[in-house]
Amino acid sequence: MSNSRSAIVVGAAPLATHDIVAVARTHAAVTIAPEAHDRMAATRAIIDQRAASDQPHYGVSTGFGALATTFIAPERRRQLQASLIRSHAAGTGPEVGRDVIRAMHVLRLQTLTTGHTGVRPLVAETYAAMLNACITPIVREYGSLGCSGDLAPLAHLALASMGEGTVRRADGTECDAITALAEVDIAPLQLQEKEGLALINGTDGMLGMLTLALHDLDTLITTADIAAAMSIESQMGTDAVLAADLMALRPHHGQARSATIMRETLAGSRIVASHRGPDDGRVQDAYSLRCTPQVHGAARDTMAHAHTIATRELASVIDNPVITNDGRLESNGNFHGAPVAAVLDFLAISVADVASISERRTDRALDPARNRGLPPFLAHEAGVDSGLMIAQYSAAGIVSELKRLAVPASVDSIPSSAMQEDHVSMGWAAARKLLRAVDGLARVIAIELMTATRALALREPLRPAAASGTIAALITRTCGGPGPDRFLSPEIETITRLVSDGAIVRAAQEARHE
């Protein structure tokens, strides 16, 4: 159900990414700005005028796509809109996550409230009421080509607003849409001219997933910085390469930020201090330790670019045709998902790279030829015990999959609609694989943290830094310390939750401020 916080106002200004996340994941309530009602009423009058005209207007008095030249008589137009939704709700495959559907839902509501789509205020009010009642239409994984909008996913959403199809109630139970709407006194929509088209022509699915991924990556990349610092520490590496003046020689913002977090995590480490100075015979650390700020920083800079694209898209009106500020009804190509698809693919590349270097640090920690005096696989009794050998296998398997997921979807256009829609973005597919990649990254980082924590314990009596020591203590309290082999899968899942919900980052921040 919606929480007790103030409702998020839709239609006053473009929503921020944190607004989307709040609606999607914490079920924040929404309300429509009064001025948005006025805009929608004014532009609906324009649509009504076009509907009364003898001239054909796309989406108002014509068919759709390749049938755009087919004139539809006035008495058949409501059927036209309903038929559009029913036929386009053709998704298949597993259910999409509830947070993705809610993100898509509020993004479509935002576009409706701009007044540029020509829907009645009632349509937006119904969408808002469904969100606030936590009625979540069931949307299937496959169906969108990412052009003409995320048609099939958005059609499933629109179908539920008509009282058709299936939904999940606030408690997660599945039922018919008409039943769920009746339970909360929401009348099903009877769509009028242009409204069916306005409900499905948008990049809201791929944009919603981009927003959620960026939110998660903000935490994950910082956690990756912390895990890397703990690996450097536990493998007797040097923090000298993280110096601010060295970072300034290559002034990428992301690189500098990652190096700062790593320095703060290692501040005061007795382990690092124990081998600092002329007695340390190593000239330099391996790339996976020495080049972490550069790799993580590249991901941070990619995220910054993606944030820019997401912010622009959040301020966009995605519909076709669209009502312009001077009242024209114009066809356009703004529904093409190319801008969003490209950054989704770009992020997937960075996610794979960050996971790849994390797995290499984990592997070094388990190899007695490279881990500076630790037992093979950090095992309690090597030979009898396998230690963390197979945890590294899990990380390696995930990294290999992330490399496959980094193959761009946005270059894989395929024509549709009798060659009318002959170039598409595949942005929905790019978004789906990015979310899977983000989940994989969290697991790879968790395995590195598990490994670094055990390695730090094996360095005793040398003491780690305050931040890394606090994190190691958190993980040890939750999962246990070194010892004979035990069931590792639950521990990996537990640490993954600590990574994903930000507990690792919070622990590091608290330790630095003590």
> Per-residue confidence at 4, pLDDT binned at 50, 70, 90?
very low
Contact 171, 180 (CB under 8 A): no
187, 332: one domain? no
Cα–Cα distance measured from residue 161 to residue 178, given in angstroms and rounded to the nearest whole number: 9
Cα–Cα distance measured from residue 120 to residue 41, given in angstroms and rounded to the nearest whole number: 6
Domain boundary (202, 234, 262) is at 202
Cα-trace Rg, the chain: 26
Which of 124-143 are b and which e, b meaning 16 or more Cβ less than 10 Å from the residue's Cβ?
A: bbbbbbbbbbbbbbbbbbeb
Bridge partners (DSSP) of residue 174 are 168
Cα–Cα distance measured from residue 61 to residue 445, given in angstroms and rounded to the nearest whole number: 55
Which of 475-509 are b and which e, b meaning 16 or more Cβ less than 10 Å from the residue's Cβ?
A: beeebeebeebeebeebbeebbebbbebbbbebbe
| pTM for this model (two decimals) | 0.94
Residues in the chain: 514
Look at residue 26 and tell me if it is in a domain: yes
Lowest mean pLDDT, pick from 151-165, 322-336, 375-389: 322-336
Give mean pLDDT, residues 389-396: 97
Q: Domain residues for 158?
A: 8-202
DSSP letter for 481, please.
-
Q: What is the CATH number of the domain that holds 243?
A: 1.20.200.10
- Type of residue at 244: A
Lowest mean pLDDT, pick from 54-63, 171-180, 205-214, 374-383: 54-63
Kindly report whether the peptide bond that precedes residue 153 is cis, defined as omega within 30 degrees of 0. Answer: no
Lowest mean pLDDT, pick from 4-8, 80-84, 85-89, 272-276: 4-8
Look at residue 3 and tell me if it is in a domain: no
For 256, other C-beta atoms within 10 Å of its C-beta total 17
261, 186: one domain? no
Q: Kindly tell me if the per-residue pLDDT of 374 is higher than 60.
A: yes
Look at residue 384 and tell me if it is in a domain: yes
Could you report the per-residue pLDDT of 174-201, keeping only the tens digit for each?
Answer: 999 999 999 999 999 999 999 999 999 9
Look at residue 124 and tell me if it is in a domain: yes
101, 219: one domain? no
214, 193: one domain? no
> What percent of the chain stands above pLDDT 70?
95
> Per-residue confidence at 409, pLDDT binned at 50, 70, 90?
confident
Could you report the per-residue pLDDT of 134-150, keeping only the tens digit for each?
Answer: 999 999 999 888 787 89
Cα–Cα distance measured from residue 477 to residue 207, given in angstroms and rounded to the nearest whole number: 39
172, 268: one domain? no
127, 235: one domain? no
Q: What is the CATH number of the domain that holds 99?
A: 1.10.275.10
Told to judge if 142 belongs to the known catalytic residues of this protein, a careful annotator would answer: no
188, 120: one domain? yes
- Type of residue at 493: E
Determine which one of 58, 127, 142, 287 is catalytic.
58
Nearest Cα neighbor of 262 from 220, 224, 235, 216 is 224
Look at residue 2 and tell me if it is in a domain: no
Domain boundary (202, 218, 234) is at 202
221, 354: one domain? yes
How many domains is the chain partitioned into structurally?
A: 2
Cα–Cα distance measured from residue 431 to residue 342, given in angstroms and rounded to the nearest whole number: 10
Look at residue 302 and tell me if it is in a domain: yes
Contact 195, 230 (CB under 8 A): no
**CA–CA distances in Å: residue 214 to residues 311, 348, 374, 402:** 11, 11, 37, 17
Cα–Cα distance measured from residue 51 to residue 75, given in angstroms and rounded to the nearest whole number: 11
Which run of H or of E encompasses 137?
Answer: strand 136-137
Look at residue 116 and tell me if it is in a domain: yes
Q: Kindly tell me if the per-residue pLDDT of 1 is higher than 90.
A: no
241, 135: one domain? no
Look at residue 87 and tell me if it is in a domain: yes
359, 502: one domain? yes
Please state the φ and ψ torsions of residue 176, each to the nearest 5 degrees: -65, 145
Cα–Cα distance measured from residue 374 to residue 233, given in angstroms and rounded to the nearest whole number: 13
pLDDT at 301: 98
Give mean pLDDT, residues 275-292: 82
Could you report the per-residue pLDDT of 57-113, keeping only the tens digit for each?
Answer: 777 777 666 566 677 777 787 888 999 999 999 999 999 999 999 999 999 999 999
DSSP string across 371-429: TTSPPGGG-SSBTTB-TTHHHHHHHHHHHHHHHHHTS-STT----BTTTTB-----HHH
18, 137: one domain? yes
Bridge partners (DSSP) of residue 385 are 382
305, 451: one domain? yes
Domain boundary (160, 176, 202) is at 202
